[in-house]
Amino acid sequence: MKRAKKKIFADFIAQRGLKTTKQRDIILDSFLSSDRHLSIEDLYLKLRAKHPNIGYATVYRTLKLFAEAGLAREMQFGDGQTRYEHVGEGEHHDHLVCTRCGHIEEFENETIEKLQDEVANSRGFLIERHRLELYGLCSGCRK
C-alpha cells in the first residue's frame, strides 16, 4: 500500500515532467508512515529530526504536490494548523475531533450522506464535497 502510493506519486511526477528528488522521497516516506491527520509543523519537526537541512518551504510545496497527486487532502480543524490527511481512492469519511487531547477519529455514515443529498436537492444545490466534524470529548478524555 505504501508501495502503491509511491507508485502513484512517481507516475504523477513523471507525467507532469517534474523531477524525482531526495527530498520528495524522504517527505513522502515520512508522510506515509505518519498519523493520518498530521499537521505540517509536526511533519516538519519529524523530518528535521533525521534531515536537519530540509526546508520548511519544501515541506509546504511537497505536501501541495501530494494533494494534487491525490494522495493527501488539506484539512482545517479550526486550531490554526493545516493538516494533511491520507487519501485512499474514492474513499470519504468524516471526523470526530477531541477538543481536549486533539485526537481525531474517522467515521462514515451512509444515511447521513443520503440526507445531505436530499437537503441539497431540495435547495437546488449541486454538492461537490462536504465536511462534517463532531467536536467534543473522546472516550479517554471523558473520565
Binding site residues, DNA, CB under 7 A: 13, 17-24, 40-41, 53-58, 60-62, 64, 80-82
CB 52, min distance to DNA, A: 8
CB 26, min distance to DNA, A: 9
Q: Is 41 annotated as a binding residue?
A: no
**Separation of alpha carbons 14 and 48, rounded Å:** 27
- Would you state the cell numbers that stand for residue 68, as one nine-digit string? 494534487
Q: For DNA, give the closer residue by CB, 53 or 122.
A: 53
Q: Determine the Cα angle at 30 with ends 25 and 36, to 5°.
A: 130
Binding to its own copies in span 68-127, by CB under 8 A: 76, 78, 96, 98-99, 105, 107, 109, 111-112, 115-116, 119-120, 123-127
**Separation of alpha carbons 89 and 50, rounded Å:** 30
**Separation of alpha carbons 72 and 86, rounded Å:** 5
